[in-house]
Chains A and B, each alone.
Chain A
C-alpha cells in the first residue's frame, strides 16, 4: 500500500493548457508539501499545508494553485502551462513539524512535459 501516491505519473500537454496533479497520503500525517525538481535536478519547495491551511508559499507564479480538500489530500492545479513548467513534481508529507521526526515521506513524482 503506497504511503504517498501521486497521479498521474506522466503528463504530456500543450502550452496554455490547464492541468492538475493529485496527491494522497495514507499515513495519517497532517502536513503535506509540493516540491518541483527541474532539469538540473534541483529540488525546490513550492507549498506546504498543515491541516488544510497554507503554511509555506514560496515564490511560485500564481498560475500554480494548491488545494487541500482534507488533510490526506493536496492537489496541484496549474493554469496556462508554460514550457518552463516542465519538471518532475513531488508530493510529500510529514507528521507535524520536522522537529519531531525530521522525516518527509515523498511520492514517486509526476513528470510534466509541456510541448
Chain B
C-alpha cells in the first residue's frame, strides 16, 4: 500500500480557513486520494476523494498537485465541530474496497 505522510497535529482559529497537507510521493497512477475524518468518540466520516483534478463538495475542497505527489484538504471556514483527526488515504482501485488508515492529523480549532 502506498504511504501518506501528514503532520501529527495542527491548530486553527474558528472561522478561518484550514489547509491540511498530505504527502504521497510514491503514489501510482491507479491510486485515488481519499480523506476521512474522525470526530471524538465517533466512527470515521467520509470527507472527499479525487484522482487528478481538484474537487469541491459541501464539506471541503481537495487540491491535488499536478504531479499528484501531494494534496491539500481545505476547510473554508473552520468551526469547533471540525476538530477531529483527519486521515489522508491512498486507495488503489485495482484492489477494490480496501482503505488503509494511517495516523492522521489531529486538528484543534480555537474559539
In the bound complex, how far is the Cα of B42 from the Cα of A55, in angstroms? 26
B83 within 8 A of A: no
Contacts of B36 in A (CB 8 A): 104
Q: How many A-B residue pairs have CB under 8 A?
A: 66
- A109 adjacent to B42 (CB under 8 Å): yes
- Cβ–Cβ contact B43 & A45, under 8 A: no
Instruction: Place the interface of chain B in its size category.
Output: 20 to 34
Chain A min CB distance to B110 (Å):
22
Interface of B, helix, strand, loop or mixed by DSSP: loop
User: Can you sample 20 A-B contacts with CB below 8 Å?
Assistant: A31-B97, A41-B103, A43-B44, A44-B100, A45-B100, A48-B97, A50-B97, A90-B43, A90-B44, A94-B97, A97-B93, A98-B32, A98-B91, A103-B49, A104-B36, A104-B46, A105-B46, A107-B43, A108-B42, A109-B43
**A interface list, Cβ under 8 A from B:** 4, 31, 33, 35, 41-45, 48, 50, 55-56, 90, 92, 94, 97-99, 102-109
